[in-house]
Amino acid sequence: MKTLVVAILSVLSVLPDQQETISEIKVNSTLVRGSISNTVYQQDRTQFKEFISILNQDELKNAMLSTTYCLDFKPDYNGERSMAIKYDRNDKIFPISNEVYHDLFFDDPQYLQIDQFLFRCPDGIKVRKKNINYACVDMIAETILFEITDKDLASEIEKNRNDLRLLFVFKITGTTTLPGKTELTAATDYYLMTSLQKMVVYNHATEKIYSVYE
């Protein structure tokens, strides 16, 4: 009997941990509020200002830095400048459109930018960026590219493309200032730096997790 118990425990010890569900991730995180319109994501300004304010208060800062946050990114599928979510079978990647106002742009190819949140790209994620001008407004067109090597899974994602979401799970680590800012007079003069725990690609309707990038 003792030998059997030891054998069972040995098997259990090598089994992978059960994957956390989307609902569990969201329940265990503080949600970043925001929305996307015609490929431009903007965080709720009131919440953003609260984040910056707390980071300037020593008695509140530590609690904030230990909190796990999540940002649920819903691509704009119908916007005038939206990019079709179509699988590139040669490079085995999917493209997602996101735009950033030029004066808010953080110019570093290692980082993915969602409004004024900065995430270092994990393995399997790349970003392409180019300057555009729309209605006399300078923008940066950012294309988020995530790798899917399983062709059957890629076909499933294409079929259910309208339910595709990107969930960023992270901790806030501090701030850095926007380029060219010498007089810091407003919360919007800062970026929020993060430690990305994972980026989850999932189906919003079914909560099926397609892939996790860490």
Q: pLDDT digit string (tens) for 32-90? A: 999 998 889 999 999 999 999 999 898 889 999 999 999 999 988 776 777 778 999 99
**Alpha-carbon distance 193 to 173, whole Å?**
6
φ, ψ for residue 10, nearest 5 deg? -65, -40
Predicted confidence (pLDDT) at residue 182 exceeds the cutoff of 80: no
Q: Cα–Cα distance between 58 and 54 in angstroms, integer?
A: 8
Beta bridge partners of 172: 194
Residue with tokens 């008695």: 59
Beta bridge partners, 199, equal 168, 213
Average pLDDT over residues 143-168: 96
| pLDDT average, residue stretch 22-29 | 97
Confidence of residue 12 (pLDDT cuts 50, 70, 90): very low
Total-model pTM: 0.88
Close Cβ partners of 162 (under 8 Å, ≥ 6 residues apart):
77
Tell me how far apart the alpha carbons of residues 134 and 194 are, in angstroms, rounded to a whole number: 29
